Amino acid sequence: MSKVIGESDNHIVTPDEYSLVREIIYRGSVIALTGAGISKESGIPTFRETGGIWDKYDISIYGNMVGLSSLIIIKPRKIKDFITDVYGGIISAKPNSAHISLTKLEDEGILSCIITQNIDNLHQEAGNKRVYELHGNLFVMRCMKCGKRQKKSKEELKSMLDNLKSARRHEILNLILPRCECGGRRRPDVVMFGESLPQSEFENAHIEVKKCKTLLLIGTSGVIYPAASLPYTAKESGVTIIEISPEPTSLSSLADYVITGMAGDVLPILFRN
């Protein structure tokens, strides 16, 4: 093996060695765990990186429903800006070559499923059918009273943003938290700070990770728990871990193989027959 990080036994894979990793992947039973990095390549601003959403907005206020609800009443202009920044980047984004490559791998029967920390719906838009969303989906509205979910299209969300620009104070609440048929209000079905992950999604993800042969880590820093615990579960289960990242992460020392590079550049080459 060519290079060691820390005290791990991982292998830094050069482009000339892609065939080695390709052979492992094409044995099948592969799962991809994806994070903000893969979406960043589609132009979606990250939340945690320098210059990201949480650099611009106070996470203690904008990261939970209590804070957001109070802003609708106290500082409506601030909530307009926040909603526009979060939704705007996601609505305009399209799946990149990394998303497309994962869809191809699923179509070939090699990829069992995707477990994602992203809320942007890009894996589904690219064509992936089995996607476990640990942090929810911004295109889904969930009633806080009856729990009923409703999927929104990009066109519907664009219309919401357009109406929000000229909305008056009393109109903002109904645009951001619209009424459900039951009388309750719908909110974006995403996990906010202080909230638990969807139990069934995480449990299913945990089961999938334990039974797969290979786990691809794509664009995830491995610092957000409990999602970050999944690679450790995989390691304990004897799963081969392959990380694809432009720079080292907290999970790099856990990986058996590390490929340095952007997922949109690496995956189309890696999955080429």
Residue 240's nearest CA partner among 2, 5, 9, 1 is: 9
CATH number of 78's domain? 3.30.1600.10
pLDDT value of position 54:
85
Same domain flag for 222 and 172: no
Same domain flag for 166 and 179: yes
> Which of 190, 208, 223 is at the close of a domain?
190
Same domain flag for 204 and 263: yes
91/81 Cα distance (integer angstroms): 15
Same domain flag for 154 and 255: no
> Which of 190, 206, 228 is at the close of a domain?
190
What is the tally of structural domains in the chain? 2
Instruction: Please identify which of the residues 99, 123, 135, 170 carries the catalytic annotation.
Output: 135
9/3 Cα distance (integer angstroms): 9
**Is 206 one of the annotated active-site residues of the chain?**
no
pLDDT value of position 45:
79
Same domain flag for 152 and 25: no
Give Cα separations from 71 to 78, 142, 180, 267 (angstroms): 7, 20, 21, 42
Same domain flag for 78 and 158: yes
Q: Strand 149-151 to strand 136-143: parallel, antiparallel, or no bridges (unpaired)?
A: antiparallel
Same domain flag for 268 and 170: no
49/215 Cα distance (integer angstroms): 24
Same domain flag for 28 and 157: no
pLDDT value of position 187:
95
Q: Which domain holds residue 250?
A: 1-43+95-135+197-273
Report the 10 Å Cβ neighbour count for 199.
8
Q: pLDDT tens digits for the chain (273 residues)?
A: 333 333 346 688 888 889 999 999 999 999 999 999 999 999 997 777 777 788 889 999 999 988 988 888 888 888 899 999 999 989 999 999 999 999 999 999 999 999 999 999 999 999 999 999 999 999 999 999 999 999 999 999 999 999 998 998 889 999 999 999 999 999 999 999 888 899 999 999 999 999 999 999 999 988 888 888 999 999 999 999 999 999 999 999 999 999 999 999 999 998 874
